[in-house]
Structure 1
Amino acid sequence: MKNILIFLNVILLFLIFGCKGDDDQNQVDTKEYTIRTDSQIKIPSQNSDSFIATIESGNKLVFEYTFDSPSDPQIADSGFSEEIIFEIESDMEEFSLNNESLEDINAFYRATCFCSNIQSVRITEGTISGKKLNATSWEIQIDVKINLDITNIDSTLIERNISNIFMQN
């Protein structure tokens, strides 16, 4: 009986002290809804279907949604992030654009992961709308479909439905 109690105490000690959590496992997905004032979206001038749209100084409002799922050091090829960006004239108070008119606001999607980086993809299907709430925040609805025709052989259609308050940094 004494040997069984010693054995159970040893097992209990292993369970208590041997299973400490790793700080990396406490990583959580993050979403950000940002407005950048005095900015614009830059599209490379070269004639190429493969490019990355960037945000630079300008005279427009740029809206940026970002999602980030951090990589787990214990899992190969983990981690994923994506962004949707678009711009409007800085004096607008409200807007609603759909399908081909999304090109007017330079709406782009981009995803990255450990295994590949996807170029910026122009968003041409769906609706993006917004209403200014005050000097620093907007209520934005994004309901779009993105065609990820990466290989020119198979295309993948993804949908994103986002509704949130975007704030200036």
Structure 2
Amino acid sequence: MKKALLILICVSMLSACSKGEEDLYSYTFSKNSKVTSESFEGSYMRHGKVVRGANLVFEYVFVKDDVENIADDEYSEFIYFEIDPSLDEFNYVDEELNTINTVFTQSCFCAFFEEEKNVAPTGSISGKKISETQWDITIDVIFYGDEARNINNRFQLKD
């Protein structure tokens, strides 16, 4: 009986340590928008923001599951870019990524001071319109010289 009680207590403790949450991914786009970005002195990280404008803005969001008992472990990342709303299909490569205001932002308790990482993104972003509310988007880009992201998903119109 003591052995069974001890096992039950151990299992209860292990399950109490697990939040049961999962990482969050979001793939959306907005009409009548544009991307703005800023960086802060001494940091290579650009911080993107979606504001009112005339384009379609695509937004990928990743939010890492937070471990409740660990301080400052929060992490999220965002990729933004914009295209002309008249397009039904597109493919932008390397230097062209700057023309669509491609921005990768990490949000965490991290330092972004390495000046050599202050470089333009390389790779490609392509997409095909499925309907007025859906696009198939492929992002295969290296940001800041070594932050590779490969995303292939359907983006939904944001409410």
TM-score range, shorter chain: 0.7 to 0.9
RMSD between superposed Cα atoms in Å: 2.7
- 1:145–1:160: 8 Å Cα contact kept in structure 2? yes
Structure 1 residues 158 and 44: CA distance shift in structure 2, 3 A: closer
SS of residue paired to 1:97: strand
- 1:131–1:139: 8 Å Cα contact kept in structure 2? yes
Structure 2 alignment gaps of length 5 or more: none
Structure 2 CA distance, aligned partners of 1:25 and 1:19?
Answer: 14
SS of residue paired to 2:69: coil
- 1:131–1:138: 8 Å Cα contact kept in structure 2? yes
Structure 1 residues 18 and 124: CA distance shift in structure 2, 3 A: closer
Greater relative contact order: 1 or 2 (C-alpha under 8 angstroms, separation 6 or more)? Answer: 2
SS of residue paired to 2:97: helix
Report what 1:167 is aligned to.
Answer: 156
Q: Does 1:11 align with 2:8?
A: no
Give the C-alpha shift of residue 77 in structure 1: 3.7
**TM-score, normalisation: structure 2:** 0.82
Q: Does 1:128 align with 2:122?
A: no
Give the C-alpha shift of residue 79 in structure 1: 2.8
Identity of aligned residues (%): 30
Structure 2 CA distance, aligned partners of 1:66 and 1:100?
Answer: 23
Match of 1:111 among 100, 103, 106: 106
SS of residue paired to 2:99: helix
What pairs with 1:130-145 in structure 2 (closer than 5 Å)?
130-145=127-142
Question: For structure 1, which segment, 89-98 or 45-54, has the greater mean C-alpha deviation from structure 2 after superposition?
Answer: 45-54
